[in-house]
Amino acid sequence: MINRLAIIGVGLIGGSLALALKKTGAVNEVVGYARSEDARKEALELGIIDRAATSVAEAVTHADMVFVAVPMGAMSAVFAEMAGHLNPEAIITDGGSAKAQVVEAARAALGDKFRQFVPGHPIAGTEKSGPSAAFATLYKEHRIVLTPVAETDAAATAMVKAMWQLTGAEVFEMDVEHHDTVLAATSHLPHVLAFNLVGMLAERDDCAEVLRYAAGGFRDFSRIASSDAVMWRDICLGNREAILALLEEYHQGMNKIEKAIREGDGDYLIEVFARAKKARDTRFADPNLIDNSEV
């Protein structure tokens, strides 16, 4: 049972955790902080939080569990603001999409409370943001990755794991570097590709005409380009090395495809496309392996 849960950032990720836990009756009170008064008001009206705090410090005071769900670039300032106001026993966790940068920010700001910080990442989401995007079942049957480090208190990790399990999620542990490499491939690179393609088409003078003939494939591929620009800027800069390594590999692949198209090398195209199709139809289609709803 959580007596007071503080949600720092009551948007899609923070708001959905609050709603899911409230539904289970496992939390007595949810105190929420969002930057804008409008968002705080909306979160109150939607029943996501019981009380709105006007500062991070106020939100975490007397909280026994603190969940940080702001864009990654804001985490450092949020940790610094909360550091002197945390309960001695408070457990702190987060939902940031890449972990190394968040772990370093927490280590630098939280001092002796760093051992009570359990880094986490819910592999669930949508392209929507803000309190109105939150819903109680977002995490149900989705995966949550926790990336505790050497200093992390095992009891704190167990508490955070138990909290996520209450939402219906499956919880895994991974080391930080592995998490950031894996997520760069399955989530971060696809977002960069979608932003680039949609942005490129939007610049065309005949954009409206082009989109008139777009079909389901384009809709599927372009959906994630509706995601929040600030959040994705922060993920790209926060997981820079892993994303750059993948972009390099991707460019190499694209160069080979471009060469094959230019030279009329149909055999090469068949080889690449058939290999991808086979993987997508078999291994990638396995619901035990891939969470197709991840953004």
- Residues in contact with ligand NAP by CB under 6 A are 9-14, 34-36, 39, 69-72, 74, 78, 95-97, 121-122, 125-126, 129-130, 133, 228, 231, 235, 295
Q: Which two tokens stand for residue 83?
A: 């550091």
Smallest distance from the beta carbon of 14 to ligand NAP, in angstroms? 6
What sections of 33-169 are H helices per DSSP? 37-45, 56-60, 75-82, 100-110, 154-166
Q: Of 130 and 190, which CB lies nearer to ligand NAP in the complex structure? A: 130
Q: Of 65 and 231, which CB lies nearer to ligand NAP in the complex structure? A: 231
Q: Of 157 and 227, which CB lies nearer to ligand NAP in the complex structure? A: 227
Task: Give the C-alpha separation, 183 to 186, whole Å.
Answer: 5
Report helix angle 229-238 to 240-263, nearest 10: 100
Task: Give the C-alpha separation, 74 to 55, whole Å.
Answer: 14
Smallest distance from the beta carbon of 73 to ligand NAP, in angstroms? 7
Cα torsion angle, 195, 199, 201, 207, sign: positive
Residue 258 phi, psi dihedral angles, 5° rounding: -60, -45
Residue 30, beta-bridge partner list: 5
Name the CA radius of gyration of the chain, rounded: 21
Give the CA distances from residue 87 to residues 37, 42, 57, 59, 68, in Å, rounded to whole numbers and listed in that order: 26, 27, 11, 11, 16
Q: Of 10 and 242, which CB lies nearer to ligand NAP in the complex structure? A: 10
Smallest distance from the beta carbon of 49 to ligand NAP, in angstroms? 10
Q: Of 32 and 148, which CB lies nearer to ligand NAP in the complex structure? A: 32
Q: Of 71 and 148, which CB lies nearer to ligand NAP in the complex structure? A: 71
Smallest distance from the beta carbon of 129 to ligand NAP, in angstroms? 3
Smallest distance from the beta carbon of 216 to ligand NAP, in angstroms? 22
- The helix or strand, by DSSP H or E, that contains position 290, with its residue range, turns out to be none
Smallest distance from the beta carbon of 244 to ligand NAP, in angstroms? 18
Q: Of 67 and 114, which CB lies nearer to ligand NAP in the complex structure? A: 67
Q: CB of 193 within 8 A of CB of 112?
A: no
Smallest distance from the beta carbon of 100 to ligand NAP, in angstroms? 13
